[in-house]
């Protein structure tokens, strides 16, 4: 069973992933080999397996490990410990979760649109620059999304919302010490296969194939089984895409003011389905958001989050470039153009280009909630994910009382997740549950 795509598609996408990771081979030659298989699954599988013998390019200037020990060794954090943040006011939990819902809703109707098309839509509706939800009508065209300005009455169902609920459920049940096998088992119990895509699809199938949890409990060598079987890599060309980065906000809320703890939980979640920069994106934003609950300087939060990332990685380089862009541009349009120009070669759901847009939007906004959100959505790519991530950070930074009413009132304190028992849910109610976990020490 291939998974998210048929095997002939997965293997072609694997070529791009391997090139981005720095492996040395001719894509054209491999395309010819793929074509010569004629769709034969056995031949395609055998060809796919030959990728394991590829060597890295000698001129590839990055070192990008996927184990937590190696990541820490190449970062500035190493054995960094959190200080006690004390009691974190509820308004920041409310702001973070509400901000995530607002940002996700803002971006949902234009998900995967090119940034120029987003500008055109708002311009033709007479509502550019962006200051609110996507217009339902633009000229003679209609956007059928559930979160447009004329239709929104709650946060509609979305995977960005679903994974935040799941992370709460996991920490509420397991505490802070869960590991990657626990995450996989939790998915088996609570996450329908049709609710996921790309890297999560592949990891779900891979985990199900090796899961020995069953009614007898967890195997003693659970993590060894997971690692040896390549749950996060087997037939998974999406292992550096944005999926892990969008799953970690709930961990940041549960570890408010404790970025090291948030980064570690994010790692344990991300390793199920991602490697290298896919993991780094999850760790960075978990630490970034967790820091914002108590540190009200976005630049300081950025430095804290970056300290958990290998200095030898593309993510580290990308984050620094995103900060440089934020400090040199004067308009949202300049920011978006600079980010898109800097990284045009990545898929529109890759970790690196979307992370760059989120970082640049936040640092550019200088504490302005709406300015950060609208910049992230104006940039296109994975708009609902980016809006949600930026909304999380800005809400944790500003608190719900500093979120503009025209953005929060239309949601009516309600979200939909597709998770039994949390559908529909109260935004403020779940925020209180996050607050209770984080402040219970």
pLDDT per residue as tens, the chain (441 positions): 578 899 999 999 999 999 999 999 999 999 999 999 999 999 999 999 999 999 999 999 999 999 999 999 999 987 788 999 999 999 999 999 999 999 999 999 999 999 999 999 999 999 999 999 999 999 999 999 999 999 999 999 999 999 999 999 999 999 999 999 999 999 999 999 999 999 999 999 999 998 876 667 788 889 999 999 999 999 999 999 999 999 999 999 999 999 999 999 999 999 999 999 999 999 999 999 999 999 999 999 999 999 999 999 999 999 999 999 999 999 999 999 999 888 878 999 999 999 999 999 999 999 999 999 999 999 999 999 999 999 999 999 999 999 999 999 999 999 999 998 888 999 999 999 999 999 996
For residue 39, the tally of other CB atoms under 10 A from its CB is: 11
Whole-angstrom CA distances from 281 to 353, 355, 394 are: 11, 7, 17
Beta strand pairing call for 425-426 and 141-142: unpaired
The pLDDT value recorded for residue 267 is 98
Domain boundaries, the chain: 7-53, 68-117+155-439
Helix ranges restricted to H, 329-379: 332-342, 351-365, 369-378
Measure the CA–CA gap between 116 and 294, rounded to whole angstroms.
Answer: 36
Whether the CB-CB separation of 183 and 226 falls below 8 Å is answered with: no
Nearest to 163 by CA among 117, 196, 194: 196
DSSP string, 197-263: -HHHHHHHHHHHHH---GGG---TTHHHHHHHTTTTTTT-TTTTBTTTTTS-HHHHHHTTT-HHHHH
Res 271: pLDDT: 98
Give the pLDDT confidence score for residue 212 in this predicted structure.
76
Nearest one of 48, 70, 101 to 384, comparing CA atoms: 101
Chain centroid to CA 237: 16
Which pLDDT belongs to residue 418?
93
pTM beyond 0.95? yes
pLDDT digits (tens, 9 = 90+) for 170-220: 999 999 999 999 999 999 999 999 999 999 999 999 999 988 766 677 888
CATH code of domain 68-117+155-439: 1.10.4080.10
């Amino acid at each position: 069973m291939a998974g998210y795509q048929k095997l002939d598609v997965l293997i072609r996408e694997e070529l791009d992933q391997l090139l981005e990771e720095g492996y040395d081979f001719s894509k054209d030659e491999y395309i010819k080999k793929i074509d010569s298989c004629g769709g034969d699954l056995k031949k395609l599988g055998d060809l796919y397996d030959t990728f394991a013998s590829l060597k890295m390019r000698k001129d590839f200037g990055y070192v990008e490990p996927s184990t937590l020990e190696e990541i820490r060794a190449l970062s500035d954090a190493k054995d960094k410990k959190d200080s006690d943040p004390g009691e974190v006011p509820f308004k920041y939990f409310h702001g973070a979760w509400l901000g995530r819902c607002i940002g996700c809703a803002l971006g949902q109707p234009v998900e995967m649109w090119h940034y120029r098309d987003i500008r055109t839509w708002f311009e033709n509706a007479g509502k550019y620059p962006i200051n609110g939800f996507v217009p339902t009508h633009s000229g003679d065209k209609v956007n059928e999304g559930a979160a447009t300005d004329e239709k929104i009455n709650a946060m509609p169902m979305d995977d960005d919302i679903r994974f935040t609920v799941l992370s709460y459920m996991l920490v509420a049940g397991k505490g802070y010490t869960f590991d990657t096998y626990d995450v996989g088992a939790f998915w088996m119990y609570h996450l329908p296969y049709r609710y996921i895509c790309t890297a999560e699809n592949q990891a779900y199938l891979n985990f199900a194939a090796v899961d020995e949890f069953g009614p007898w409990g967890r195997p003693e060598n659970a993590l060894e089984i997971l690692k040896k079987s390549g749950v996060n890599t087997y037939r998974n060309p999406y292992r550096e895409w944005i999926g892990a980065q969008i799953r970690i906000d709930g961990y940041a809320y549960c570890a408010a003011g404790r970025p090291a703890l948030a980064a570690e939980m994010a790692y344990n979640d991300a390793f199920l389905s991602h490697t290298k920069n896919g993991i780094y994106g999850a760790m960075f934003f978990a630490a970034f958001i967790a820091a914002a609950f108590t540190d009200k300087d976005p630049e300081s939060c950025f430095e804290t989050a970056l300290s958990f990332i290998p200095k030898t990685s593309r993510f580290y380089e990308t984050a620094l470039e995103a900060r440089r862009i934020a400090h040199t541009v004067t308009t949202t349009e300049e920011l978006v153009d600079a980010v898109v120009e800097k990284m045009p070669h990545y898929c529109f759901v890759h970790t690196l280009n979307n992370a760059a847009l989120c970082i640049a939007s936040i640092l550019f906004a200088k504490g302005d909630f709406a300015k950060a959100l609208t910049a992230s959505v104006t940039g296109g790519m994975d708009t609902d994910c980016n809006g949600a991530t930026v909304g999380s950070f800005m809400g944790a930074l500003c608190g719900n009382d500093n979120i503009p009413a025209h953005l929060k009132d239309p949601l009516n304190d309600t979200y939909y997740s597709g998770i039994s028992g949390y559908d529909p849910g109260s935004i403020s109610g779940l925020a209180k549950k996050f607050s209770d976990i984080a402040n219970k020490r």
